Amino acid sequence: MINNVGDFLKSHEIKPSYQRVKIYEYLMESKEHPTVEVIYSALHPEIPTLSKTTVYNTLKVFIEKGIAMAITIDENEVRFDAEVNMHGHFKCLECQKVFDFDVETLDIGNDAMDGFQVVEQQLFFYGLCNHCNHES
């Protein structure tokens, strides 16, 4: 866990403005993999000068610096995650929530990727979450 978000941002060569700190704190605390709209809606009451463009541009910087990732689990929306270590995502088709799950490694095997340079891995599953599956 990060104790001081401002220092963390500085260590990744990001100027820790108040808005950037609040956006990163929200991203770290949120396990729902929020969209730009969700982040904006959550923070705008506290930061009236915040714009959706600022949220989008800040997330873009976080991604470029490797402290956040964009999740395109659904072609209609992009969600964001502060957890950048290898893990998978499960999207419930009923409640639309996105859940993390642990993935040790993704082994393609048998020279299938020989000569390739992997720069990003994303693993997605779709179905019904435990809660929605039990309601069916």
Residue range of the domain that includes 18: 5-81
State residue 53's pLDDT score. Answer: 97
Q: Which residue has the tokens 């990727």?
A: 113
Residues 70 and 105 in one domain: no
pTM above 0.85, yes or no: no
Angstrom distance (rounded) from CA 4 to CA 28:
12
Sign of the four-CA dihedral 39, 42, 46, 49: positive
Residues 63 and 105 in one domain: no
CATH number of the CATH domain containing 14: 1.10.10.10
Structure tokens at 127: 């179905």
pLDDT tens for 49-80 read 999 999 999 999 999 999 999 988 777 889 99
State residue 109's pLDDT score. Answer: 61
